[in-house]
Structure 1
Amino acid sequence: MANIKFEIIESIGVLSESGKGWRKELNLISWNDRDPKYDLREWSENHEKMGKGITLSKEEVASLKSLINNID
């Protein structure tokens, strides 16, 4: 499996933390030297290991924010 290069440009926040120390985080990340995208996934304490996640463009984050704001 090929190595994935990433750089956390901005740590936006932590949504939760598991009993094992993994944290679900929202970050702005550049993957393989590409333009940064918003990224939501679980990370180990030192950001050496990661779980499955999703990446979102700025426009997708704005749409998600609008959808969340409409939840009662």
Structure 2
Amino acid sequence: MADIKFEIVAHIGVLSTSKKGWTKELNVVSWNEGQPKYDIREWSPDHTKMGKGITLNEEEIGQLRLLIIN
């Protein structure tokens, strides 16, 4: 399996914490040195491991915001 490079560019907030200490977070992440995107996924306490998640570009996060507040 290929190594995945990532950099958490901005930590926005924690949505929840599991009993095992993993946190579901909203961050801005650059994957494989690409354009940073909004990212929602679970992270281990030291941020070296992650679960499956979803990435959203600027337009998609704006649309999500509109859906939530309406």
TM-score, structure 2 as length reference: 0.99
> 1:65 Cα deviation (Å)?
0.2
TM-score, structure 1 as length reference: 0.96
1:62 equivalent to 2:59? Answer: no
Alignment of 1:1-72 (within 5 A): 1-70=1-70
Query: How many equivalent pairs are there?
Result: 70
Q: 2-side partners of 1:53 and 1:68: how far apart? A: 19
- Moved runs in structure 1, 4+ residues, more than 2 A? none
Q: Which runs of 5+ in 2 are unaligned?
A: none
Question: One-letter code of the match for 2:59?
Answer: E
> 1:51 Cα deviation (Å)?
0.3
State, as a whole percentage, how many aligned pairs show the same letter.
Answer: 66
Q: Which runs of 5+ in 1 are unaligned?
A: none
Q: 1:13-72, CA deviations, whole angstroms, 9 ceiling, x for partnerless residues?
A: 0000001000000000000000100000000000011000000001000000000001xx
Q: Give 3-state SS (helix, strand or coil) of 2:66's partner.
A: helix
